[in-house]
Amino acid sequence: EVQLVESGGGLVQPGRSLRLSCTAAGFTFGDYALSWVRQAPGKGLEWIGFIRSKTYGGTTEFAASVKGRFTISRDDSKNIAYLQMNSLKTEDTAVYYCSRDVYYDTTGYSNWYFDLWGRGTLVTVSS
Amino acid sequence: QSVLTQPPSVSGTPGQRVTISCTGSSSNIGAGYDVHWYQQLPGTAPKLLIYGNHNRPSGVPDRFSGSKSGTSASLAITGLQAEDEADYYCQSYDISLRDWVFGGGTKLTVL
């Protein structure tokens, strides 16, 4: 079955760190970029970062809200992507989803969408 | 405040047609970037509904359709069913922010 499964969420104190995992199955993991998207309680979706496939350098991009605090890595041999979250704040409380990214070009515009999502893992930042 | 603006809620009765708008600007939808739509049923993860403005992934009923014009996009649902009750999000890319951006979401209620 084609799927993504997040794990590693939980309760953490402000200022501490947490690492989330996203385990893939049923497709060639290394061929795809992967994003992390979060959803605060009762709120909408917020893209926070992604990692390109190794073919495209395996580089990362982040939203301003987490840049400098969060990092993303991947281990294609294990079909896992990681979201390392440092210096956590109460406003980082959310369900964190990983998603598989699809890229295509239209007359010079680079478009991305998220075609497969995990069920999410809840991160609660509280003292 | 989301970069892409959606109505907070829409409603309709079974069998009706409803539309959900997604308004952007010259730095995202108006710049030429495509719009994608996601459906989030209560208590579940988002699911891709429409990609590339109007394309449906395999398995999505043709009751769902998308369109884009200028700085806006729309999602239309015809033959409304109770199971369509969900939150709907549009998504695009913003060249000024250099970020993938979502609309604030629209809650669809089937009366």
Q: What is the pLDDT of residues B79-100, one digit of tens each?
A: 999 999 999 999 999 999 999 9
Give the model's pLDDT for residue A119.
98
The model's confidence at residue B51, banded by pLDDT at 50, 70 and 90, is very high
> A47, B102: Cβ pair inside 8 Å?
yes
Give the model's pLDDT for residue A34.
98
User: What amino acid occupies position A111?
Assistant: N
> B102, A118: Cβ pair inside 8 Å?
no
DSSP structural state of residue A12: E
> B44, A104: Cβ pair inside 8 Å?
no
- Distance in angstroms (rounded) separating the CA atoms of residues A48 and A59: 14
Is pLDDT of A107 > 90? no
Give the model's pLDDT for residue B27.
96
Tokens 């892409």 identify what position? B4
- Over residues A44-88, the pLDDT tens digits come to 999 999 999 999 999 999 999 999 999 999 999 999 999 999 999
| Residues from chain A contacting residue B44 (CB–CB below 8 Å) | 119
- Over residues A1-59, the pLDDT tens digits come to 999 999 999 999 999 999 999 999 999 999 999 999 999 999 999 999 999 999 999 99
| Residues from chain B contacting residue A102 (CB–CB below 8 Å) | 51
Q: Does B44 touch chain A (CB under 8 A)?
A: yes
Is pLDDT of A109 > 90? no
- Distance in angstroms (rounded) separating the CA atoms of residues B92 and B2: 12
Give the model's pLDDT for residue A110.
86
Q: Does B93 touch chain A (CB under 8 A)?
A: yes
Who's near A114: CB < 8 A, 6+ residues apart? A35, A37, A99, A100, A101, A102, B36, B38, B46, B48, B91
Q: Does B105 touch chain A (CB under 8 A)?
A: yes
- Residues A63/A49, Cβ–Cβ less than 8 Å: yes
Q: What is the mean pLDDT of residues B55-64?
A: 97
The model's confidence at residue B11, banded by pLDDT at 50, 70 and 90, is very high
